[in-house]
């Protein structure tokens, strides 16, 4: 008589659950690979995916920048960036696996033939790793470089595989330039291939605002003008301009923070519940809030700048610059839920902390005259009580 191995019981809770889809093989091409965004955000995010084994089995990363270098120097630079900025503990085995997929091209697309080096590298990677011509182009470069890169990529694209184009903020410098950039993108890429993103919204704690709003039975019923007097949104960071003086001189705090990060947070706090949480439904509710905002006048906006100086030999702000590095503003959304409420936003550089704070001050009931007095300026009104949601302290 022979012993048989015990039969492993199936988990009844797993019935009907779909398996995680295996990502398609592809090449990720990062333009601006030597920049601040790649070091602090993109590469740590890729490392986090590698640690969790969420990257495609056949995957390649090509960094493109004007800085001179080769594959080895790029890998060393990115390893240092991961050790400094990644949220996950550094694991040498995970990094070695990811580093083997890193490649670097020193090229300036503004020069004639600059795109040939990238095209040749991608062709070689397709042949060696069978990537199928799938591409993800990430434009982590200043906005003036967008049209040149997009035109070069569009003229060389073929029918093999799929293509995704990721365009970072700021999207243009005013309304007219944003429209022109949109027209350039749509000349070579379809709308469903284009991802205009704000990396700030990728923060886990920013995304948790949706759960705080719509999955919380305590907050949502009172999240309106009947119970909330005003809302304050503060974005502060400990870093300064650092090596971004050239970019910041043209962008400033208004374009770098206000017109994207802060307006997105304002839309998240003021939007109505979407019919579902697909990207289109959430986008539509945000647009309703932004269209309902009152344009703040000069009396409702304050801009400031911390003094000139040097940080590790780099200019903090260009000389004789009037570019703002901090500011505050006040506006009112004319939606049904917030018609009489106000929103205040502020941005600070060189703060001694890094919080994202959203503070709501609720209306307090009046004593003695609630039934007879309807004036919002009644002298017998009690002071509003504040509740603060503090987010993103030292989080990626």
Dump pLDDT digits (tens) for 168-225: 887 877 888 889 999 999 999 999 999 988 877 877 778 788 888 888 888 888 888 8
Q: Is 133 exposed, middle or buried (0-12, 13-18, 19+ CB in 10 A)?
A: middle
Dist. CA 85–CA 77, nearest whole Å: 12
CATH superfamily entry for domain 202-391: Dihydrodipicolinate Reductase; domain 2 (3.30.360.10)
Under the banding of pLDDT at 50, 70 and 90, the label for residue 366 is very low
Distance CA 56, CA 72 (A): 22
The β-bridge relationship of strands 26-31 and 59-65 is: parallel
Lowest mean pLDDT among 267-271, 308-312, 336-340: 308-312
pLDDT the model gives residue 110: 64
Examine the residue annotation and report whether 261 is marked as an active-site residue of this protein: yes
Question: How is residue 146 written in tokens?
Answer: 């967008």
Show me where the domains of the chain are located.
26-197, 202-391
pTM score above 0.85: no
Q: Which CATH number fits domain 26-197: 3.40.50.300, 3.40.50.720, 3.40.640.10, 3.40.50.800?
A: 3.40.50.720
Encode burial over 233-267: b for 16+ CB neighbours within 10 A, e otherwise.
Answer: bbbbbeebbeebbebbeebbbbbbbbbbbbbbbbb
> Following DSSP, what letter does each residue of 316-348 receive, concatenated?
SS-TT----SEEEEEE-B-STTTTT-EEEEEEE
* Predicted local confidence at residue 371, as pLDDT: 41
Question: Residue 326: is its pLDDT beyond 90?
Answer: no
Q: At what angle do helices 71-85 and 92-99 cross, to 10 degrees?
A: 140
The C-alpha atoms of residue 109 and residue 65 are separated, in whole angstroms, by 9
The single residue of 39, 103, 230, 261 carrying the catalytic annotation is 261
How confident is the model at residue 363, as a pLDDT?
55
Give the pLDDT mean for 22-51. 92
Pick from 156, 104, 125: nearest CA to 59? 125
* Confidence category of residue 379, pLDDT binned at 50, 70, 90: very low
Residue 322 has pLDDT above 90, yes or no: no
To the nearest whole number, what is the mean pLDDT of the chain? 78
**pLDDT for position 316:** 58
Instruction: Compute the average pLDDT of residues 12-28.
Output: 73
How is residue 37 written in tokens?
């965004």
Gyration radius of the chain over CA positions: 25
């Amino acid at each position: 008589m022979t012993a048989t191995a015990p039969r492993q019981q199936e988990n009844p809770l797993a019935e009907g659950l779909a398996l995680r889809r295996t990502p398609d093989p592809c090449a990720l091409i990062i333009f601006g690979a030597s920049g601040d965004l790649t070091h602090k955000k993109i590469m740590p995010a890729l490392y986090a995916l590698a640690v969790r084994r969420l990257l495609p089995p056949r995957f390649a990363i090509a960094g493109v920048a004007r800085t001179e270098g080769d594959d080895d120097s790029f890998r060393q630079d990115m390893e240092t960036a991961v050790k400094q900025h990644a949220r996950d503990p550094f694991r040498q085995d995970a990094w070695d696996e990811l580093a083997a997929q890193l490649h670097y091209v020193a090229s300036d697309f503004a020069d004639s033939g600059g795109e040939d080096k990238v095209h040749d590298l991608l062709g070689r990677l397709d042949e060696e790793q069978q990537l199928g011509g799938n591409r993800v182009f990430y434009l982590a470069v200043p906005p003036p470089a967008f049209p040149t890169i997009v035109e070069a990529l569009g003229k060389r694209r073929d029918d093999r595989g799929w293509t995704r184009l990721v365009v970072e903020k700021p999207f243009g410098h005013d309304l007219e330039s944003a429209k022109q950039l949109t027209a350039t993108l749509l000349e070579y890429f379809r709308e469903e291939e284009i991802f205009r993103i704000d990396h700030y919204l990728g923060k886990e704690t920013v995304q948790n605002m949706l759960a705080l709003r719509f999955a919380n039975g305590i907050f949502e019923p009172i999240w309106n003008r009947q119970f909330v007097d005003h809302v304050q949104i503060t974005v502060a960071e400990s870093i300064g301009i650092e090596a971004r003086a050239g970019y910041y001189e043209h962008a400033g705090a208004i374009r770098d923070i206000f017109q994207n990060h802060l307006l997105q947070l304002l839309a998240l706090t003021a939007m109505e519940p979407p019919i579902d949480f697909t990207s289109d439904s959430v986008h539509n509710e945000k647009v309703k809030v932004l269209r309902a905002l009152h344009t703040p006048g000069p009396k409702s906006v304050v801009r400031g700048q911390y003094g000139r100086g040097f940080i590790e030999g780099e200019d903090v702000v260009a000389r004789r610059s009037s570019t703002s590095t901090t500011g505050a503003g006040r506006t009112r959304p004319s939606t049904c839920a917030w018609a009489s409420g106000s929103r205040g936003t502020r941005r600070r550089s060189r703060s001694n902390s890094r919080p994202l704070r959203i503070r709501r001050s609720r209306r307090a009931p009046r004593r003695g005259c609630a039934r007879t007095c309807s004036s919002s300026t009644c002298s017998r009104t009690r002071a509003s009580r504040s509740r603060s949601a503090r987010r993103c302290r030292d989080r990626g």
